[in-house]
Structure 1
Amino acid sequence: MATVAAFLPKNCEVCTIMSEHLYADVILPLPLGDLFTYRIPPAFQSTIKVGVRVVVQFGARKFYSALVYKLHNNMPGGSFDLKDIDAILDQQPVIAPAQIILWEWMVGYYCCTLGEVYKAALPSALKLESQTKVSFNPNFEIPEDLPGEEEALLLMLRGHGQANIQSINKFLGKKSALPVIKLLLEKNAVLIEEKIEENYAAKLQPFLFLHPKLGTEQAIGEALASLQKAKKQAQLLEFFLSETLYHPEQKAQIAKKELLEKSGISEGVLRALLDKEYLHLQEIEVGRLDLSYEGEQRIFDLSEAQNQALAAIGEATAQAKPVLFHGVTSSGKTEVYIKLIEEQLKQGKQVLYLVPEIGLTTQLINRLKRAFGAQAGIYHSRFNDSERVEIWMNTLHEREQSFRIIVGARSAALLPFRNLGLIIVDEEHENSYKQFDPSPRYNARDVAVVLAQIHRAAVVLGSATPSFESYFNVKTGKYALVELTQRYQNISLPEIRIADVRQATKRKQMKSLLTPDLFESIEKALQNDEQVILFQNRRGFAPYLQCGTCGWIPKCTNCDVSLTYHKNMGAVTCHYCGHTQTMPANCPECHSTEIKTRGFGTEKIEEELSILYPDARIARMDMDSTRGKKAYERLIYQFESKQIDILVGTQMVTKGLDFDHVSVVGILNADQLLNYPDFRAFERSYQLIAQVSGRAGRKNKQGLVIIQTSQPEHPVLLDVVANDFTRLFNIQMNERKMFKYPPYFRLAKVVLKHKSRERLNMGANQLAIRLRKLFGFKVLGPEYPLVSRIQNWYQKEIWIKLERDQKLGHSKQQIMDEIKAVRALPNNSSLLVYADIDPM
């Protein structure tokens, strides 16, 4: 921890030397639409650069680490006092020049600010913000008549020296202790100070060196002779010499931990050698990243179909066209990607490999390390701040050991690549690539295409079930299409059957949640020592509870949703805000004990299966069972190594996982997907069902997929059975063109939030009237969404359909101007409004 003054240069007298005025426009990590200009003191003028972080004061007290966007000699207009930059935090820029170009595009396209992009892109440890510190004024004498809270706080501060606002709130048991602090400030009893906290610290490790006074063979011999009576010390020194001076690799040092573990000698013996100045201890910076790989590296040869796809991708990327790589499940797309990566690495280029979920990095990184060793690394949000900083710097700067392949989820697209040659967006149809909250609400797939253009890199979008927008871009000539229509080693596509739940229920043939066909198929798979995946896109035990007498349903106190029952927790919880309460024993309305569960989630399926198949090893993969950092990887490993027979899961089990022994896949409730009120419902249903179906029969034999539904004649299900993506696409395109939906029109969603329903309605109507004057019938709403209140914020939505051929940038600016105008109206200052472009 250090004060702002600690970052100032030692020779402060040079600050008085006058030179030509130089100014910096900086980006603050705040949702502000403007850049802010600061004066550069003469002492900093020779060292400041675009892209470095600087400490600046913003407002009366706050300090932030801002990013230098531009250097210039233009004195800003206006009558305000210009502040100086207080400190420079970096010797070299922490962002790459291409990033600024990308950020500017994101600001223009996604209706956000540079500050929001800066905050989203950089690891938290690189974004410093001052904290208010409160300390006791030693010149103040505590009077006897001081109120209790004030006296308690002063005594605490006098004992502890200093405290931040959060710890004071906790100490006093208040949501905000600011009124108490204000009273003490007025009495001059406390002092206020802003401090900057440096969140990143290099990882240091103690290493042992031979002391300089033992620099000759003679000195070493004399040292060993002096240790004749201290046998353990002599043994440790001899071991050190064998591991360093006399080692074939001529190592100069050895890690302290390694020396003690290998020699088996205690730390007390080592201390004696340090005291005698035979060895010397020094802390050396070591990285947190795993840059080692000792396994065998091998890249497999491609099949004829894969080679043809590889050549076609090469031809398309040579014409600077994005490529949509449409390959059926288990067609070997990853092996084609590996060949593409190999070509880029030979040219000294970097590769970005995007996946929709963090969990997918586990299997993928293992395959890439087998091909490219330590050149492959991962970047995602489950790393701690320090690890993310090191990967950031590793990507930005050329080092002896650097990751040349970065595998990551959507945030990896914002890394500072210095020499990017290829971007792969795997499972490009996934809506996980879309950032929903907070701003910037970007789609990493689309950002990847722009990033590739900036770097003049190749970009390949891969999927077995492409998004309709990407496939439309192929039809209009914007993207090139490369298809891989046969599975690797000519393995057959799975057999897909539709099981009618309605008929099975009517005939009383259901085995708990399973139709007879699915029950018998699972039983047969277990007898053959094969594995099963069951998909249900609901976590928890039951979606809701209901009183059997009066119909009461427990609702969230903060959100307009029913609470989900989690039997393992013995509680009902809200999946929007996290509000949790114990399972009700009685109905609060009629006091009946007839509280029943309705519907079923993954927890209930797991319990029912343990009754139906008592000898089977059953596991669950959902958000609840994979909360730990390594929990997902552990589940994947257990399933791969056949320690699990049946895996029950949510969407997590549908995405890109490759298992050798899965023969049966069951989709337990397809109706839930098909009946969702969204214009993309059929597209997403097809994608999800086709993707989870692709987990079956991947290597040894044809798999079986059973889809349970009450709508066996539904056209989407018939298209899945026929594997007819084109038919579904054509029908949906006709409907979307007729009703003016993407990809024929662009969508902008304006979301308004307020804690008062009346204020929300007033502000939403005001904005809708203004937008209709600009866009007419293309404005829909305002309407409440499916969930109209989340975390006590009521919300409404206004949807705007924009023609693709009109000036999109101008239309978006008009939308933002109207939002700003409505927020400036009386009583609207607390109204939250934002625009989401291309919402999913």
Structure 2
Amino acid sequence: MSTKPLFADIILPVPLPRLFTYEVPDDLVHLATVGKRVAVPFGKKKMYSGVVCLLHHNKPEEYETKPIVSVLDEESLVNAYQLKFWNWLADYYQCTLGEVYKAALPSGLKMESETRIIYNTEFIAESPLSDKENKVLDIIAGKKVCSINDVNQQSGLKNSLPIIKRLLEYNAVFVNEHLKESYKAKTEKVISLHPKCQSEDALQLVFDKLSRAPKQQELLMTFMSMVGGLTGAITNENVAKPELLKKANASQAAIRELCNKEIFLEQERAIDRLDLNDKAVKQANQLSEVQQTAYDEIKDGFQTHDVTLLHGVTSGGKTEIYIHLIEEQLMQGKQVLYLLPEIALTTQITSRLQKHFGNKMGIYHSKFADAERVEIWNNLLQQKNYQLIVGVRSSVFLPFSNLGLIIVDEEHENTYKQFDPTPRYHARDAAIVLASLFGAKTLLGTATPSIESYFNAQQGKYALVELLQRFEGIKMPEIVAVDVREAKRKKQMSSHFTPMLLEKMDEALKNGEQVILFQNRRGFSPFIECGQCAWVAKCVNCDVSMTYHKHLNQLVCHYCNHSIQLPTVCPACHSPAIETRGFGTEKIEEEMSLLYPDHKVARMDLDTTRSKSGYDKLIKKFEDGEVHILIGTQMISKGLDFDNVSVVGILNADNMLNYPDFRAFERSYQLMTQVSGRAGRKNKQGLVVLQTSNPKHPVIMDVINHNFLNHYNGQLEERQLFKYPPYYRLINITIKHKEQPVANRAAHLLAEQLRVVFGNRVLGPQAPVINRIQNLYIKKILIKMEKKASPTKVKHLMREAIFSLQAQQAFRYVTFQIDVDPA
């Protein structure tokens, strides 16, 4: 009896709004399961690895199916929870499953015919390779860098993907993302008995021969005791070389001698790059009375709500509460995801959590090499030792199987929002949906809740817990607003610093205390200008001035990274009067070094923390007191705790307040409050000097008075009046084209079509503040939706309007980007 042919719907890493159906050959039917990667032909020449989404017997009518070439995995790489989550993301954020797939998987797990394969020059095979593996490796080694198509053509193989996958596992090759930093498998040297000595008689003979070399004999005895060979059967187990040297108190020379005598065998073995110590873990500290009350209220909140908002002041002890909640979940055999908004935060948090959870904890973020992220993925997939994952927004894509709790720390941060490329998801909102798929709970924690989250708590959608006292009675910092205009009028300013700020810095530094200065602009100065004709250096690709970076002596565009050398004369009038305007972190660092030559000054911004260890080293130096003055952008505001900081300076509060965005006041309040929270610990009340031209601004007054509720109510009133979240949902459509008239025409036609359906809820099109980036002209359309409106219907109508425009030849190359819930 013939059986119906089996078909598979495959998610491919292409931005097309559909799945692709392939036939499963008879010899692969027993291997093909949902969630596995398969190699499939796509188009005339390309080969992709895709993920099986659905298996069925429904042959497509409209086209002839192609067969799957091979199944790449022994076990499913993507689980059912992930596929549900991917579908929700694609639907809610208006992107394709292929785009979600590309965002979700680490690059080491994605292979396609355009992938660049790089030969690992330091590869040493631990066991013989097969003929096909050797053939493929020789081709890659000869070219150093090549594509999968190159390998297929030169090897004569129909599909080399399974072989390349094995070579990746051997660390013989790596894929394009590894170009960011040189890859080398992490190994350690291990010692085992030489095969000639792995019998009782041979070993007895060896001991007899070593009677005249007591140190070598003692070393051998120590080794045997470590592998249990003194009390049991002789095995070929190995011991890490450093551990053996330490335990035997022996020298490298002693081991070398035993290796030369073919008693020991020294080898290298691969170890987990993310290997966290498995020392005895520390029990969670006892909670204070206030913390215990908050903990109990969170537990009560979880009885009635899936989401709880913990509004806790800076230094209120939120992390200790998190540790108790995590401990409880892990004791129940559950998994926990701890989300952080910035990689910078992982340094302090992970060192603290590691003391409690040891090797049950894994870390996941983009500063890790791709191979390290693959290890985390596989560890979770195989349900090995990681029960707690600490990571940034991309951690929501990991293959959890038994999630019990998600903690979203600093939930207000807009860095939880992915801007480019698609999917443009918000990790906080995505985490809530992910938790719901498991029946898990979500805890949102922050000292400065987002307006939307606090509104949801006030409306009863979330449970609300408030922790409004600092831990151990530490006082909230005193915040003083200093009028910069008045200081300038009286000629009291020293460059960009008011007398009060410098006076308080002097006092702190004399007392051996530390200072943080906040300026949310990197570089030396935001732009340069000709003092003669007012010429300003602008980027050739973008409609924006270029930032001067003094250490490079270059002007850099922060949008496309185009850079040029600093001109010595004005290109317009040839005057040498080129002047810097404004100030960034680099300029503040230079001026502080001149003002305080006896104190160590450091800068924390994107330029100084690009490397994997950049954050760690800088934070460690500041913690250890090696750095006295730390200057930074917003990354210094996010939950970092330093015991010895007594003074914080906010150098320019007005920049934040004057940004043209409906969230500008909310963000300014959050940022100033969070930066202020770095001041004062233990026995000392901190001081914050806030430099502004408008000390009576309502946002600044709320920051000074620590009055979140007043700020919240004021913002809520404005949001309701002007139809913004949390009362309305927003969808932003960005239209881009290399020719401005085409972008304008496409935007106007789209707005007209949308107004037919949505009326005056459509705003625009209008040009953004920067209306050309990377030689593409930009227009924006904003749709405001009532909360009760069906988002599915709105998105469908919007998509239809975009598709109808894209079908026209004139707009074929126009880019339409949809951003649901823009941050």
When normalised by structure 1's length, the TM-score is 0.88
2:587 counterpart residue number: 604
* Separation of aligned partners in 2, 1:195 and 1:263: 47
Residue among 339, 346, 353 paired with 1:368: 353
Pick the aligned partner of 1:381 from 355, 358, 366. Answer: 366
Confirm whether residue 614 of structure 1 aligns to residue 602 of structure 2: no
Report 1:687-836 matches (<5 A): 687-836=670-819
Bigger shift: residues 286-295 or 604-613? 286-295
Shift of 1:292: 1.6
Q: CA deviation at 1:159?
A: 14
- The alpha-carbon deviation at position 219 of structure 1 amounts to 2.5
Q: 1:296 to 1:105 in 2, by over 3 A?
A: closer
TM alignment of 1:342-491, pairs within 5 A: 342-399=327-384, 402-491=385-474
Query: 1:529-548 residue pairs with structure 2 within 5 A?
Result: 529-548=512-531
Distance between the aligned counterparts of 2:21 and 2:147, measured in 1?
A: 31
Q: Which residue of 2 aligns with 1:319?
A: 304
Is 1:624–2:604 an aligned residue pair?
Answer: no
Distance 1:104 1:602 in 2: 42
Question: How is 1:288-327 mapped onto 2 (pairs within 5 angstroms)?
Answer: 288-294=273-279, 297-327=282-312
Query: Could you tell me whether the CA contact under 8 Å between 1:236 and 1:263 is conserved in 2?
Result: no
CA displacement at 1:265 relative to structure 2 = 3.1
The structural deviation recorded for 1:813 is: 1.3
| 8 A contact 1:498–1:707 mirrored in 2 | yes
Q: Is 1:253 paired with 2:223?
A: no
1:498 is aligned, of 481, 488, 493, to 481
**Offset of 1:763 from its aligned partner?**
1.4
CA 1:724 to 1:66, structure 2 compared with 1: closer, same or farther past 3 Å? same
Q: Name the CA distance, whole Å, in 2 between partners of 1:310 and 1:340.
A: 8
What do residues 145-192 of structure 1 show as CA deviations (whole Å, max 9, x unaligned)? xxxxxxxxxxxx999976877899xxxxxxxxx9xxxxxxxxx99999
Q: Which amino acid aligns with 1:339?
A: H
Q: Per the alignment, in what secondary structure is the counterpart of residue 748 of structure 1?
A: strand
Greater Cα shift, 625-634 or 286-295: 286-295
Q: Return closer, same or farther for 1:654/1:283 CA change in 2, 3 Å cut-off.
A: closer
> Aligned partners of 2:330, 2:464: CA distance in 1, in Å?
24
Post-superposition shift, 1:118? 1.0
Give the 3-state SS of the residue equivalent to 2:68 in structure 1. coil
- Matched residues, percent identical? 50
CA distance in 2, matches of 1:667, 1:284: 51
3-state SS of paired residue (1:578): coil
Distance 1:43 1:705, change over 3 A: same
Give the letter for the 1:486 counterpart.
Q
2:23 aligned residue (39, 61, 70) = 39
Paired residue for 1:126, among 109, 127, 130?
109
Distance 1:296 1:267 in 2: 33
Question: Out of 24, 27, 38, which is 1:54 matched to?
Answer: 38
- 2: CA distance, partners of 1:624 / 1:282: 40
| Counterpart in the other structure of 2:128 | none
Secondary structure in 1 matching 2:810? coil
Listed one character per residue, the Cα deviations across residues 106-140 of structure 1 (whole Å, up to 9, x for unaligned) are 11110011111111111110001124999xxxxxx
Count of aligned positions: 778
Deviations 1:49-107 (Å, cap 9, x if unpaired)?
Answer: 111111111111111111011111111112x3211111111111112221111111111
Cα deviation code 1:717-754 (max 9, x no counterpart): 11111111111111211111111111111110001111
Aligned mates of 2:45, 2:784 — CA distance in 1 = 44
1:265 to 253, 260, 266: 253
Distance 2:525 2:638 in 1: 24
Contact map agreement 1:53 1:65 (CA 8 A) in 2: yes
Unpaired runs of at least 5, structure 1: 1-16, 135-156, 169-177, 179-187
Question: What is the alpha-carbon distance in structure 1 between the residues aligned to residue 620 and residue 391 of structure 2?
Answer: 20
Partner Cα separation in structure 1 for residue 281 and residue 141 of structure 2:
56
Within a 5 Å distance, the mapping from 1:554-573 to structure 2 comes to 554-573=537-556
Q: Hey, what does 1:669 align to over in structure 2?
A: 652
CA deviations over 1:203-236 (Å, ceiling 9, x no partner): 5767554356644422212345578999999887
Counterpart residue number, 1:553: 536
Given residue 221 of structure 1, which amino acid in structure 2 is its aligned partner?
A: Q
Contact between 1:421 and 1:458, CA under 8 Å: does it hold in 2?
yes
- Opposite residue 438 of structure 2, the aligned amino acid is H
Question: Retained in 2: the 8 A contact 1:355–1:408?
Answer: yes
Instruction: Tell me the distance in 2 between the aligned counterparts of 1:385 and 1:821.
Output: 39
The equivalences for 1:42-191 within 5 A come to 42-78=26-62, 80-131=63-114
- Determine the C-alpha separation between the residues in 1 that align with 2:266 and 2:40: 39
* Residue among 206, 221, 229 paired with 2:204: 221
Partner SS for 1:308: helix
Which residue pairs with 1:184 in the alignment?
none
CA distance, structure 2, for counterparts of residue 257 and residue 787 of structure 1 = 58
1:629 alignment partner, SS class: coil
In the alignment, the residues of structure 1 paired with residue 706 and residue 514 of structure 2 have an alpha-carbon distance, to the nearest angstrom, of: 24
SS at match of 2:811: coil
User: Is the CA contact (8 Å cut-off) linking 2:305 and 2:462 kept in structure 1?
Assistant: no
Which residue in 2 is equivalent to 1:146?
none
Query: Are residues 87 and 723 of structure 1, via their aligned partners in 2, closer, same or farther at CA, if it must alter by over 3 Å?
Result: same
How far has the Cα of 1:438 moved from its partner?
0.3
Question: 1:236, 1:270 within 8 Å by CA — same for their partners in 2?
Answer: no
Over 3 Å counting, the alpha-carbon distance change for 1:598 and 1:193 in structure 2 is farther
Does the Cα contact within 8 Å between 1:24 and 1:70 map onto a contact in 2?
yes
Against the structure 1 CA distance between its residues 193 and 513, is the aligned structure 2 distance closer, same or farther, given a 3 Å change threshold?
Answer: farther
Alignment of 1:20-35 (within 5 A): 20-35=4-19
Judged with a 3 Å threshold, the aligned counterparts in structure 2 of structure 1 residues 385 and 167 are, in CA distance, closer, same or farther, namely: closer
Show CA shifts across 1:659-700 (max 9, x none). Answer: 111111110000001000000011000000000001111222
Query: What is the deviation of 1:366?
Result: 1.1
Other-structure match for 2:507: 524
CA RMSD of aligned residues (A): 2.9
Match for 1:549: what amino acid?
Q
SS of equivalent residue, structure 1 residue 63: strand
- Whole-angstrom CA distance in 1 between matches of 2:230 and 2:793: 69
Of the structure 1 ranges 715-724 and 253-262, higher mean CA displacement relative to structure 2 is found in 253-262
3-state DSSP of counterpart to 1:265: helix
SS at match of 1:533: strand
Report the secondary structure of 1:796's partner residue: strand
Code of the aligned partner of 1:387: E
1:280-325 deviation digits (Å, cap 9, x = unpaired): 6777553222132436613111111111110110011122430010
Alignment of 1:281-292 (within 5 A): 286-292=271-277
Distance 1:68 1:696, change over 3 A: same
Gaps of 5+ in 2: 118-137, 172-184
Question: Cα deviations across residues 617-655 of structure 1 (Å, max 9, x unaligned)?
Answer: 111111111112111111111111111111111001111
Give per-residue Cα distances to partners, 1:344-388, cap 9 Å, x unaligned: 111011111001000100000111112222222210011111110
For residues 300 and 817 of structure 2, what CA distance do their matches in structure 1 show? 42
Deviation of the 1:491 alpha carbon: 1.1
- Of 609-618 and 567-576, deviating more is 609-618
Is the 2:360–2:388 Cα contact (8 Å) retained in structure 1? yes
